[in-house]
């Protein structure tokens, strides 16, 4: 009995020391990470983790239903496509042709109304809000300095356009699986604005593409400060309602107390509603007869800012079968892929993104999803 008492006393002491050390070394956010992610068997954020965080509602308005193609779901998925879905945990797969849903399938208990985490697809939303804020006169143009909104960056010369095009020069470590990276801290920190404004600009901005989630977070903070509106409310009135989204969405907050959205990620919605934003950009900012976003801004967004870079302003860029391809892209293979020349969009949501080489190149799953979609369309 004495041994057990000493043992449990030692455990309590060690645990107490770990807590003290976590606060001393400013890594107490790890407690939330362990509780919400690691103890649930995950090594990184997962599709339905939004349920463990505070969220704000992005309100939908009157639904504008998607048109259903006359050949809806008449062609079966190819064997290769089905294997890819199984291997990498696809939960939703849509092919949209000529603005009509031509094929859709759902897996693992998810359906057309199921919410899941967008991850970095949300960066496209924030870039779109930048364009809207410029139209609304809250922000002058892409060249307006970050320091106009946060004077501590006066010497940095970073512009809002640099933030949107991933050329900010921000001191940021884009590491998703390390519990000690700034990206992980941002995901679990309960005062995200304070954390962000303690970061420095360490490289010359506006010179080259370097993908940093913190750039988008700073951009969202700029938009909130310039507009005087919360990001979720501004996005709802500017896009989610006029795009006719069927369902309200959730956007994760750092905490209920500070109520800053994790703007670089963490927008919970469904495949059909995510696709609406891709259609908006395919149609140069026009939706249902309304010009929701300046067409010149849209065109600029889906054009590389830097020669050879795979990125414009909030969108990934590439080619497919010699045709322009732009993408909204998220951490676990969340994809809205748009081929404007063919008026085709392919949407995929899932648990894994598949293999890649650790660079900014697209995972091979992207090409499989597109190639098999086109095979189905030709049958």
What CATH number is associated with residue 282?
3.40.710.10
CB 39 within 8 A of CB 49: no
Same domain, residue pair 51 and 15: no
State the residue range of the domain holding 32.
2-36
Residue 64 sits at φ, ψ, to 5 deg, of -110, 100
Same domain, residue pair 29 and 63: no
Same domain, residue pair 82 and 184: yes
Same domain, residue pair 60 and 15: no
Same domain, residue pair 119 and 197: yes
CB 216 within 8 A of CB 163: yes
- Outline where the chain has alpha helix (H): 2-24, 29-36, 79-88, 122-135, 160-164, 182-188, 192-196, 213-227, 231-235, 271-282, 295-301, 364-378
Same domain, residue pair 24 and 69: no
Same domain, residue pair 14 and 119: no
| Number of domains comprising the chain | 2
Which residues make Cβ contacts (< 8 Å) with residue 179, sequence separation at least 6? Answer: 30, 33
Please give the Cα distance from 19 to 36 (Å, whole number): 17
Same domain, residue pair 185 and 125: yes
Same domain, residue pair 19 and 103: no
How does pLDDT run along the chain (379 residues), one tens digit per residue? 554 445 443 433 443 333 333 444 445 667 666 777 777 777 778 889 999 999 999 999 999 999 999 999 999 999 999 999 999 999 999 999 999 999 999 999 999 999 999 999 999 999 999 999 999 999 999 999 999 999 999 999 999 999 999 999 999 999 877 888 899 999 999 999 999 999 999 999 999 999 999 999 999 999 999 999 999 999 999 999 999 999 999 999 999 999 999 999 999 999 999 999 999 999 999 999 999 999 999 999 999 999 999 999 999 999 999 999 999 999 999 999 999 999 999 999 999 998 875 556 788 999 999 999 999 999 6
Same domain, residue pair 106 and 167: yes
Indicate whether this model's pTM tops 0.75: yes
Same domain, residue pair 156 and 137: yes
The DSSP element (H or E) to which 267 belongs, if any, is strand 267-269
CB 275 within 8 A of CB 344: no
Same domain, residue pair 203 and 78: yes
77-80 long-range CB contacts below 8 Å, 24 or more apart?
77/103, 77/105, 77/372, 77/376, 78/372, 78/375, 78/376, 80/368, 80/372
């Amino acid at each position: 009995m004495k041994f057990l008492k000493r043992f449990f006393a030692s455990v309590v002491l060690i645990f107490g020391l770990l807590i003290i050390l976590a606060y001393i070394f400013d890594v107490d956010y790890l407690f939330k990470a362990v509780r919400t992610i690691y103890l649930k068997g995950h090594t990184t954020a997962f599709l339905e983790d939004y349920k463990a965080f505070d969220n704000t509602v992005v309100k939908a308005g009157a639904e504008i239903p998607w048109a259903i193609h006359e050949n809806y779901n008449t062609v079966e998925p190819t064997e290769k496509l089905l294997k890819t879905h199984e291997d990498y945990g696809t939960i939703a797969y849509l092919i949209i042709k000529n603005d009509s849903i031509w094929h859709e399938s759902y897996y693992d208990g998810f359906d057309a109304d199921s919410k899941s985490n967008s991850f970095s697809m949300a960066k496209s939303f924030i870039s779109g809000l930048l364009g809207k804020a410029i139209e609304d006169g809250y922000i002058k143009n892409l060249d307006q300095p970050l320091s106009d909104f946060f004077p501590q960056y006066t010497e940095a010369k970073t512009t809002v356009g640099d933030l949107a095009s991933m050329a900010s020069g921000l001191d940021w470590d884009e590491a998703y699986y390390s519990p000690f990276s700034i990206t992980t801290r941002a995901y679990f920190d309960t005062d995200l604005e304070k954390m962000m404004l303690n970061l420095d600009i360490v490289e010359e901005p506006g010179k080259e593409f370097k993908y940093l989630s913190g750039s988008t977070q700073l951009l969202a903070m700029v938009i909130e400060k310039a507009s005087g509106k919360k990001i979720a409310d501004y996005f709802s009135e500017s896009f989610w309602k006029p795009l006719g989204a069927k369902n309200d969405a959730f956007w994760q907050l750092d905490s209920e107390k500070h109520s800053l959205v994790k703007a670089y990620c963490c927008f919970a919605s469904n495949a059909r509603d995510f696709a609406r934003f891709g259609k908006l950009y395919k149609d140069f900012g026009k939706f249902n007869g309304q010009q929701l976003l300046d067409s010149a801004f849209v065109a600029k967004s889906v054009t590389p800012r830097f020669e050879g870079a795979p990125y414009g302003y909030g969108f990934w860029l590439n080619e497919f079968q010699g045709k322009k391809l732009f993408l909204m892209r998220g951490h676990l293979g969340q994809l809205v892929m748009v081929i404007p020349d063919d008026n085709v969009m392919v949407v995929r949501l899932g648990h894994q993104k598949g293999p890649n080489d650790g660079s900014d190149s697209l995972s091979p799953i992207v090409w499989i999803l597109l190639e098999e979609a086109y095979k189905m369309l030709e049958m």
